[in-house]
Structure 1
């Protein structure tokens, strides 16, 4: 298949303006982020094959078409008719090959990388096989059923010299970098002490009976793997990926008849400088996507961290040195709102970054980036600890990494 080429400018400027604020005597003006692809980077679009026609693949395939350095070269399903229909419904390029099997995508020499949105129980088989076929791997979360499975996937990727990345989209929104800047400022935020995150939504219709996320043979981690993954990642991100010493599951999770978790929570303890965290995830409670971070001098809140309410704007709120007004009739200063705008939605930025890494590896300019497999493994390790704590009567469990 002829390679499709695209001109990538040496400097792609993405401006993230937000309201000018005054916070602890520091005035903020517009933030400018410059993405500068290396001048020697190959200009060929990375050709991505998709394994399966999951609903989330609709969103990520759109991102592949929005990203300036990727294209969809193949789609595979167990049903050729389904692959053809999926490609048509989602406006894939006419050049996209449609296959009636996953194997055919992996055997296609015109596929550089694969996106794997299959049920978690199938990740081990297909991610390992993809790596063995020298395909870079963008893997949906949760990436595995446990760390043991993930290690086999990562070992296959490392052995083949291919990039691994999980599809946690919010990590790639420019808001995430700005929030980290605020948290890292000792004058505004002080020492980080507490993080709480909630991700929940109501499973409507036949979701709680028929969705793969509540099927023990497909996604046995249930809500913990689906929604809890995001909150655990948020906690680790806030603490610069320092793992907690212990994890203690909160008692009385809710299950379906098959024993799959539908709501749960846990506390994380670092046993150092009073650092703690908690999270809650559920298929039963109203859509909530919160992170609250508390420091000795400041606090930060975001209310849509998983998927922004508006895909082009990511707001969050921060305040420092809050105090009661006289007679406790209120408090001051009020939190400042930061509005970070982006031209591309976060999922397209994720795909673009994945494509950039693959370009560097395929062009001989770079080796696989180790950051992404490392933070995936740490997230999975905490999930494993939550599962172990539940099985052990909600006792504290040491995090093994």
Structure 2
């Protein structure tokens, strides 16, 4: 039943035969139009897109790459033996927030003043600045150093973790010898002639930098973030798969790996919601659910033949000269990949790129392969996109500039943004901003509200 509250203070209806003048309807008419636009949202344009130039910053001495994290721009400069990171708020005009000196690590060559690139990660009210072995955690608002770590920190689910491989003493490789044979590398890039004796995994409290938990696996092991919640890490050792919570280190699931034709697995990877465990010597691959570690199917593989298509975020298989996208639950072929050399998730779709030029061709439905957005004429995507975020595209514009367009998740169309007088060499984007380098520094646009 619908109840309508009567307004007892409303004025009486006008007398019969006396029609109000037209101007009395103006505001009511505008209100009706607004209500209709809301009610007919399916026929109206999608989320608002705004191409707005915010200005430039004097950062011509900043080294590559351009880094955006948590809605801010970070630039890195190096002079001699010193290096600094500056945070910028991308307002109009852009505003410098702080500059912090980054401690040198073994990655620095004093003779040549060469630095390794700094990776910027944002987590809550912290910014993690990592290079080579070390990580420095600074306050997002002030740049004040909270803590430092002698090892590189990776963030998953708001918690940090570190991975280290421990080698037997005396196994470091003598580069001057030129001796042949397999080499195994530590986290700092040092080569060894034997595989590691154990792998150490540690959880880190990002608020303090202190250790939360520790785990050690015998021999060499790989560690990959696992999909789903709570945030978890998949540890693949020689004889088992283990899923551990990032926050506590607790075991969420575990399963033993088996030998196939007398061979143990050689590698493992996480693709979407499944784990692929490869047995290179047996030419076999076993597939497990990522959250339960339940084995669901297997297939024969040809490890010596390279795949014609690079399927980064989807399962593929070459069969009879064709590449097929597979159903991850069953391993059955679903649809063929044609005229593409890469296939990866963007804006909620799969992006196909041209096998000859690498240019984007189209966006397709991940389940059926049906074409959703034609990208012909666009030269490339702008770096910095995420799987489910907007896809920013560029192509040559008039007078040597660059024209930009965007595909928003759930909206199968390219929306033209505008043209900028910048070179195509280096641009980066996040979900709301575009930053491009020119001879004077860095120029910033907002493209989405």
- The two structures have a TM-score, normalised by structure 2, of 0.26
- The two structures have a TM-score, normalised by structure 1, of 0.28
Which one has a larger percent helix, Structure 1 or Structure 2?
1
Which one has a larger percent strand, Structure 1 or Structure 2?
2
Q: Bigger relative contact order, structure 1 or 2, given CA contacts below 8 A and separation 6+?
A: 1
